[in-house]
Amino acid sequence: MWIKHLFLGFIGLASGVGVAAGTFAFIIVIGVVPRMIAKCNRAESTILFENMIVLGGIFGTIMSVFTDISLPVGHWLLYVYGFCAGIFVGCIAVALAEILNTFPIIFRRFQVKEGLSWIMLFMALGKCAGAFWYFGHHMTPP
């Protein structure tokens, strides 16, 4: 019986390592980390950025696997975490869209030449408003 548990534990660990490696490779390939470092003008802190991303992944995994762990910090930490996670997911989505040249193709097809920054801003604000509406009305995913 214990050999079965050992085997399943090994398979779970190997699968988790594979998924994590794929996720971090995807983040590196689409260039989110170098772009964020360049926007912050913090080239000397590249290692710190990379370490924080890895530590965030490890911490998030531990918190999601061991659900009995609770931190007595209240709702404010949850709000800050949600805000930061939303920014990160938004950066990944925009970087992926930029790599696929989605925005330049759309702007060229609709013959948009001015106000591109306003379009991007209002797209982001619309996404934020939709998320606030979704979570504010306690909607559940399907």
pLDDT digits (tens, 9 = 90+) for 46-63: 888 888 888 887 887 777
For residue 92, pLDDT over 60 is answered with yes
Domain ranges for the chain:
27-100, 113-142
Residue 118, pLDDT above cutoff 70: yes
Question: Does this model's pTM top 0.75?
Answer: no
What pLDDT is attached to residue 20?
Answer: 76
Taking 3-state DSSP, the helix, strand and coil percentages for the chain, each rounded to the nearest 5, stand at 80, 0, 20
DSSP annotation string for 36-96: HHHHHT-GGGHHHHHHHHHHHHHHHHHHHH-TT---TT-HHHHHHHHHHHHHHHHHHHHHH
